[in-house]
Chains A and B, each alone.
Chain A
Amino acid sequence: MTRYSLFSLAAKAVSGHRGWQRAWRDAAPKAAYDVIIIGGGGHGLATAYYLAKVHGITNVALVEKGWIGGGNAGRNTTIIRSNYMLPGNEPFYEWSMKLWEGLEQELNYNAMVSQRGVLNLAHTDAQRDGYARRGNAMRLHGVEAELLDLDAVRRHAPFLNFDNARFPIKAGLLQGRGGTARHDAVNWGYARAASALGVDIIQNCAVTGFLTDAGGAITGVETSRGPIRAGKVGMSVAGHSSQVAAMADLRLPIESHALQAFVSEALKPIIPGVITFGAGHFYISQSDKGGLVFGGDIDGYNSYAQRGNMPTVEDVCEGGMALMPMIGRARLLRSWGGIMDMTMDGSPIIDHAPIPGLYLNAGWCYGGFKATPAAGWCFAHLLATDAPHETATAYRLDRFATGHLIDEKGQGAQPNLH
């Protein structure tokens, strides 16, 4: 594998860039592997990479029904943050943030991890106190957090609507280390690094069923390219978790919902970091290319359609105009929908399935992108050691039965409210 650097780039330029190799091998499936990962999103790719890199398990197949990074991993608003409130979540997301911070050097691929801050705005005293609770929780976990008063918010983002807003801004919670990363580069970087360590990345290979032994344990997968056997099968298929689980007669505490996201035409830099509105559904950042990248609430009904409807489009844009009326003249360029695996408490699952041989990484709701490195790390840890990683011990499947829920928003068993 050619190492990426300015020097290799310059050297290859001399020959018209004819010397570059494929970023990852185009592998065909073998008959059997130690581990099969279903799903070539960021989580699956990261899992494959860390299995090989951290645990030395390189006889790994990653099977993807389309092209890698084609689901939510390539259709999100690219935000990374670790500003969670509950003890079940915060260590995990902070571990993810730490992995983000070294990712590019680790993978030798510039994923444009950009820590320009994530600011959550508060519009009532109670909301400010809620953010204080969250900020204090972050501090207790050793994560930096800052509660900004109105003047500090004004300095951070002078273009916000401070003067005639329906819900005046009172304060903000800033995580300075939060920010964004280039989603496609994350996928490609993991794919390239995993492939270089020997992982087979098999695209256009749809899983159609599970292979089982006499005792019902899972021993591999049926695919559109034939059966593939494996000691362990991990599924990491986001919005299609229920579909794949159903092949193993497993029902999950998950509903699939469409989340729309939006990008504007490219504009000169004006939005610092990520800003979220506290009195409506709206969050925004600006890509390095200049597009305003924004989103809001999920459409709210079960969907596998990768698109949404006008009420949400309008709701999101109303939130944007209420918060920063300067964006009225920016033009929406493209919108899209991703399918979110919304759980009943709004938090994910990294656990054994109740079927031997099958492992679950699911339920990421609309927060899967920022979790990519740690989800890969922790899922690889579970697959390799059969024990949960120390930062992911709360993400058990049986927590819904035992009542040890991780409900950041306090909305209960109603996935579309998380």
Chain B
Amino acid sequence: MRIPCPYCGSRDIGEFVYRGDASPVRPAADGAEAAMFAYVYLRDNPMGRHEEHWYHTQGCRNWLVVTRDTLTHEIPSARLAAPLNAGDAV
């Protein structure tokens, strides 16, 4: 499987570290116990299209949001989780 890293180009998954579903958003801290529980523990775990976090640990060290199909493993797209700062442009 290969991931089209927006910064480095198409690379083997051996260069990346997987984290998981990119859709849960970390809630702001205090008084958010239920929301934090859902963020940390509950997953849709879909069969099909999945937006997920991958870290290009042996490349540019960017965190990516990769769209991948969990049944076919096809990867239609990938983007940087955080846009590059001005002046960091490739």
Contact = CB atoms under 8 A, between A and B. Distances in A.
* Chain A directly contacts chain B within the complex, with at least one CB pair under 8 Å: yes
Interface of A: 242-243, 246, 251-256, 300-305, 309, 311, 344, 400-401, 413-416
Given A251-B43, A253-B41, A255-B45, A416 B18 contact: yes
Interface string B1-36: 100000000001110001111000000000000000
Contacts of A300: 18
B82 interface: no
Interface of B: 1, 12-14, 18-21, 37-38, 40-47, 50, 52, 68, 70-73
Given A302-B50, A304-B71, A401-B37, A416 B45 contact: no
Contacts of B14: 311
B51 to A, nearest CB: 11
A386 to B, nearest CB: 25
Shortest Cβ-Cβ A-B pairs, 4 listed = A242-B45, A253-B41, A311-B14, A251-B42
B66 to A, nearest CB: 9
Nearest to A300: B18
A309 B18 contact: no
Of residues B20, B37, B41, which shows the largest number of chain A Cβ atoms within 10 Å of its Cβ? B41
Contacts of A311: 12-14
A304 B13 contact: no
A413 B41 contact: yes
Nearest to B34: A401
Given A253-B43, A301-B68, 10 more contacts: A242-B45, A251-B42, A252-B43, A301-B18, A302-B70, A304-B70, A305-B70, A311-B12, A311-B14, A400-B37
B21 A302 contact: yes
Nearest to A400: B41
A305 B41 contact: no
Nearest to A242: B45
Given A300-B18, A305-B73, A401-B37, A243 B44 contact: no
B39 to A, nearest CB: 10
Given A252-B43, A301-B68, A304-B71, A416 B20 contact: yes
Nearest to B47: A304
A18 B68 CA distance: 52
Contacts of A242: 43-46
B43 to A, nearest CB: 5
23 contacts: A242-B44, A243-B45, A251-B38, A251-B44, A252-B43, A253-B41, A253-B42, A254-B43, A255-B21, A300-B18, A301-B13, A302-B50, A302-B52, A303-B71, A304-B47, A309-B1, A309-B13, A311-B12, A344-B40, A400-B37, A400-B41, A413-B40, A414-B19
B70 A415 contact: no
Contact of B42 (A252, A301, A303, A415): A252
A310 B13 CA distance: 10
B20 A414 contact: yes
Given A254-B43, A311-B13, A303 B20 contact: no
A252 B20 contact: no
Contacts of A243: 45, 47
Contacts of B70: 256, 302-305
A401 to B, nearest CB: 5
A100 to B, nearest CB: 30
Contacts of A251: 38, 42-44
Contacts of B20: 255, 302, 414-416
Contacts of B42: 251-253
Contacts of B68: 301
